Amino acid sequence: MAPRMDGNVLVWASQVDEATLEQARKAARLPFVAGHVALMPDAHLGIGAAIGSVIPTDGAIIPAAVGVDIGCGMVAAETVLTSSDLPEDLRPLLDRIEVAVPAGLGRAHDRGRVHDAGAGVDAWAAFLDRHGLPAGTSLDDRQRSTAAAQYGTLGSGNHFLEVCLDERDRVWVMLHSGSRGVGNQLAQRHIGRAKRAMREWFVSLEDPDLAYFVHGTPHFDAYIADVTWAQAYAAGNRRRMVEVTLALLHDAAGQPGTAPTLVVNCHHNYTARERHRGRDLWITRKGAILAREGDLGIIPGSMGARSYIVRGRGNPAAYHSCAHGAGRAMSRTSARKRFRAADLSQAMGGRTWLAAHAGRLVDEIPAAYKDIDTVMADQADLVEVVHTLTQVLNYKGVS
């Protein structure tokens, strides 16, 4: 569909509620927003900024627009395997993934088995060096230990790990995760600071969650340092989980481990300095991915629905962006009231998944999300489909 203007918001979503639109309008009315806000097809209500929004700013940045899971995103790895290489019963593989990739709220590796999880300066430096992470972050000793122990873990909510088949019968590993507890703590710290700064400067906002930092201030510099680190941590966290899962997958297939033929690793909650229309701007994508011409990206469907590997078309009106997934159509509370475990079991069909926990996962039922094919049709001018993935195994954290 062709996007439509709504005030200073350019909307790609054919299905979007008024509350989400108004949230995007409020962000677009901020004086430092440098152009229109782009609202993606999967847009829905968030905190401060709508999920599925792309916000260009000049001279200021909004921590809540990045969100509390800094660097959250997707990774997908294509293997040389096909469906015939997989064991008939994938349950043993799921059981091994559960052990190797902890999932759920606050879950971490056993600290006794994390060789570099110490809080000391030397141990922390060794951890950063081992995983290629930047050094500049303001974590205390306890947070450093937690960050090391949670590295290579999935998290909860809509975070997931899947084994999929594409349209050629090739096997993929795909997962969704972010910067875990440490990213949340950093985000909450800076969101609180920004709100306090607004009060100190007597700045009145339509929504307090749109509190911002001004370029050139110590708070701005501290936030950029932490958000840059957390984004690198999130990307590395996803990379580590894929490495572990690929080893388990090849072992289950009875084949020697081989390097993936393609790996795509992309953020969808982040901010970056980019040049658009001749200006250097901060582009904040909250539930959106980078889709420059030729860029590969990942757009997952909901639990039990198709996902897509896409190639960006570089649409300048969207600041070279596209949707990050299906997007919720109803809240978790509404989904739990409306659906039962049997509904989710029916939706999952013959896939291998944590069926015994259906009652605790029912808020992730596909019917609680927008139709992924409608989302894809809405953004035909933003991306083209390269591969279509269908999951045969799904793993989520159970809180």
Separation of alpha carbons 1 and 4, rounded Å: 9
Q: Judge contact between 163 and 393, C-beta under 8 A.
A: yes
Distance, C-alpha 312 to centroid of its chain = 18
Beta-carbon contacts of 358 under 8 Å, excluding residues fewer than 6 positions away, are: 341, 342, 344, 345
Q: What phi and psi, each to the nearest 5 degrees, are found at residue 205?
A: -120, 150
Separation of alpha carbons 11 and 300, rounded Å: 20
Q: Are strands 9-11 and 37-44 parallel, antiparallel or unpaired?
A: parallel
Separation of alpha carbons 303 and 353, rounded Å: 10
Provide the 8-state DSSP code for 169. S
Beta-carbon contacts of 143 under 8 Å, excluding residues fewer than 6 positions away, are: 182, 185
Instruction: Please confirm, yes or no, whether 176 is among the known catalytic residues.
Output: no
Separation of alpha carbons 319 and 57, rounded Å: 12
Residues in the chain, overall count: 399
* Closest CA relative to residue 172, chosen from 93, 261, 265: 261
Separation of alpha carbons 118 and 174, rounded Å: 30
For 14, what's the count of Cα atoms within 13 Å in the CB-facing half-sphere? 14
Selecting among 159, 320, 324, 387, the annotated active-site residue is 324
Beta-carbon contacts of 41 under 8 Å, excluding residues fewer than 6 positions away, are: 12, 13, 14, 52, 323, 327, 370, 374, 375, 376, 378, 379
| SS3 at position 285 | strand
Give the residues across from 321 on adjacent strands.
290
| Residues annotated as catalytic (active site), given as ranges | 324
